Structure 1
Amino acid sequence: MSDDARVQGREDVLTLRFVGEDGQGRAIDELRAAHVAEVLQGLVGLSSDFAKAGAFGGGAPPEVLVRPAREGSFVLEVVNYFAQNPETVSAVGVPSIGSVLWWSTKSLRADVSDVDYLDNGKVKVKWQNDTVDEVPQPVWEELNKRKRRRRRHLRQIMAPLSDPQVTVLDVSDVDDEPGQATSGDAPETFTIEREDYHRARPEDEVEETHTIFETEAQMGAVDFDSGEKWRVKTPTGSRVATVEDADFLLRVDRGLALHKTDIFNLTIREDKVTKNGQTRRTWTVLRVDGHRRGSADDDDT
């Protein structure tokens, strides 16, 4: 970026140093290109989401730039450049991208135990690992939104830690123009470990629903020894179900005669679990409210 452009805006610099050794015990000086691409995509996504939440002040969102890597350990310098706008350039207390990365990583390490809204406009966050942070309110609001998306961004940023040769990621949050912005309680340097990468594993998206309905059905025991699994055939389909009606099971145990054409009045609970787009249904027969013989048999209630 030209010197003229720097005068018109401000920038904070985030240094990512991926530390590890190769098979000969030498410090790594290269990473897989695919991993580097993921790191940059994750940083852009994380910065963009918090910018939309107002974490970096008003005006245009910051632009994420990359400086050439240094020799030695694999180092990336990421520049979060804020274009000229009075609210952002002169603001004190606007967090850096490094602060956002720190608080986002902490949200992986522990759940929140308590919060306190302070008079200075910040939110005091108490974590379950007995640590405390004061974060700007827009940051706190974003930490409570888009959690799956944020985990994906963090997973991308930490992608090189999936390589056995990479042991830790050292993060250094250095502002090119001290005094223009502060990071609050976020440290200037911190370490992201492989365990954090595992914590950022995408969570399964699970939706559970429960429905109770009444229907007529034919029933056939699948396992007479256990008395629990029954084949239930309704007008809409057939499914193996668990019978929880103790009185009915006792009658069966005492010799209740069952015919394949018998029609039962059932109260069924359907439990539906949708996980990552795939749905599984299970039936439980809560009550058997009597039955009648089918057309081929004599009436018997």
Structure 2
Amino acid sequence: MSETHAVEIVDTLTLRFVGETEKGAPLHELRAAHVAEVLQGIVELTGDFLKAGALGDGLQSEVLVRPAQEGSFMLEVLRVAQDPAVALAAGAVAPPSLGSILLWATKSARADVEDYDYLENGNVKVCWQDKTVQEIPRHAWDELQKQKRRRKKQLRKIMAPLSDPRVSAVEVSEEPAEVVDGEIVPPVPAFELARPDYNAVSPEDEIEETFKIFDADAQMSAIDFDDPEKWRVRTKEAKRSATVEDQQFLDRVAAGLAIRKTDIFNLEIREDILTKNGRTTRKWTVLRVKSHRRAAHDDDA
């Protein structure tokens, strides 16, 4: 941010990770990897809603973090902006808090929408299937409808410490902690995230299914003449198990068609490609045997 503009704190989000050690003492530390995920998730979530205009028009803001404090384990996240008073005076609508964004995002991952209405004030009245009702600014509502898989990943990061059995809950507040008589007093939580919330954003199987159909010269062998799914097909590019769907060809095989390993078949093949969580498997189906010839070096070719 430019140093020529006034920078003010426009939002505070305090996350207090509540739990106990194996000895029953209050939890004062978290795994470093989990803390990194929490911060990354908050930055990604905030960035999406900022780009969508849901955190204020005309505000240039960024997210900062204060050191963790004792009293269980607390992180204070700050959003600062350039000249927020100037932007509001120019007609910008006061943006929702980071806490509200986190609450709405978590709610949308956990409960389906039963009904919603667009209000005259520009907000959206949302009735969730758990019978709760919330009024959400239009830009925030629009962003909640997008990138749901990405949103779950962000929330999963923010709640990463809940994968640690020592952590029982995350208390979310929109106020910073206070120091009273030398002791840190946690802020009153606005809401709490627990393990059911964490489970609701568990990663889904990422599945992509495509297929292609192509012709190829190949050699074939049947492992079991009674089972059309137990054939082997070898082309110049690959050798795979295959299902044969050409019933006329299967009838000829059943009637005694002699097949040598060196025979050349021109095949119409469908390749089904399944990508699941980054791993790809391919399945071949022979749709049609278009021609069949003996290899040139065979005596009876």
Residues 1:61 and 2:64 are matched in the alignment: no
* Paired amino acid for 1:14: L
Q: Please tell me whether the aligned partners of residues 52 and 61 of structure 1 are also in contact (alpha carbons under 8 angstroms).
A: no
- After TM superposition, give the deviation of residue 192 of structure 1 in Å: 1.1
Q: Please tell me whether the aligned partners of residues 220 and 231 of structure 2 are also in contact (alpha carbons under 8 angstroms).
A: yes
| Equivalent residues in 2 for 1:178-197, closer than 5 Å | 189-197=190-198
Note closer, same or farther for the CA distance 1:265–1:70 as it changes in structure 2 (3 Å cut). closer
- After TM superposition, give the deviation of residue 109 of structure 1 in Å: 1.4
- Per-residue Cα deviation, 1:161-218 (whole angstroms, up to 9, x for no partner): 121110111112349xxxxxxxxxxxx7222112333443444544322112233332
* Paired amino acid for 1:136: P
Equivalent residue pairs, number: 283
* Paired amino acid for 1:158: M
- C-alpha separation between the residues in 1 aligned to 2:31 and 2:291? 68
- Per the normalisation by structure 1, the TM-score is 0.78
- C-alpha separation between the residues in 2 aligned to 1:243 and 1:132? 56
| Equivalent residues in 2 for 1:39-188, closer than 5 Å | 39-67=38-66, 71-85=70-84, 86-88=86-88, 94-112=95-113, 116-125=117-126, 127=128, 129=130, 131-174=132-175
- After TM superposition, give the deviation of residue 32 of structure 1 in Å: 3.2
Note closer, same or farther for the CA distance 1:214–1:124 as it changes in structure 2 (3 Å cut). farther
Residues 1:288 and 2:282 are matched in the alignment: no
* Paired amino acid for 2:209: E
Who is 1:182 aligned against?
Answer: none
* Paired amino acid for 2:74: V
Who is 1:245 aligned against?
Answer: 246
- C-alpha separation between the residues in 1 aligned to 2:30 and 2:17? 9
Who is 2:280 aligned against?
Answer: 279
- C-alpha separation between the residues in 2 aligned to 1:39 and 1:221? 55
- Per-residue Cα deviation, 1:18-75 (whole angstroms, up to 9, x for no partner): 1112222233233334433332332223222211211111223333344565543223
Identity between Structure 1 and Structure 2 (%): 59
- C-alpha separation between the residues in 1 aligned to 2:70 and 2:282? 56
- C-alpha separation between the residues in 2 aligned to 1:11 and 1:18? 23
* Paired amino acid for 1:32: R
- C-alpha separation between the residues in 2 aligned to 1:143 and 1:190? 19
Q: Please tell me whether the aligned partners of residues 10 and 83 of structure 1 are also in contact (alpha carbons under 8 angstroms).
A: no
- After TM superposition, give the deviation of residue 91 of structure 1 in Å: 5.4
Aligned-pair RMSD on alpha carbons? 3.3
SS state of the match for residue 87, structure 1?
helix
* Paired amino acid for 1:215: A
- C-alpha separation between the residues in 2 aligned to 1:120 and 1:59? 19
Runs of 4+ that moved beyond 6 A: none
Who is 1:22 aligned against?
Answer: 21
- C-alpha separation between the residues in 2 aligned to 1:18 and 1:108? 21
* Paired amino acid for 1:210: F
Who is 2:213 aligned against?
Answer: 212
SS state of the match for residue 268, structure 1?
strand
Residues 1:37 and 2:36 are matched in the alignment: yes
5+ unaligned residues in a row in structure 1: which ranges?
A: 176-187
Q: Please tell me whether the aligned partners of residues 228 and 245 of structure 2 are also in contact (alpha carbons under 8 angstroms).
A: no
Q: Please tell me whether the aligned partners of residues 115 and 126 of structure 2 are also in contact (alpha carbons under 8 angstroms).
A: yes
- After TM superposition, give the deviation of residue 235 of structure 1 in Å: 4.3
Who is 1:184 aligned against?
Answer: none
SS state of the match for residue 47, structure 1?
helix
- After TM superposition, give the deviation of residue 101 of structure 1 in Å: 0.5
Q: Please tell me whether the aligned partners of residues 126 and 132 of structure 1 are also in contact (alpha carbons under 8 angstroms).
A: yes
5+ unaligned residues in a row in structure 2: which ranges?
A: 177-188
SS state of the match for residue 105, structure 2?
helix
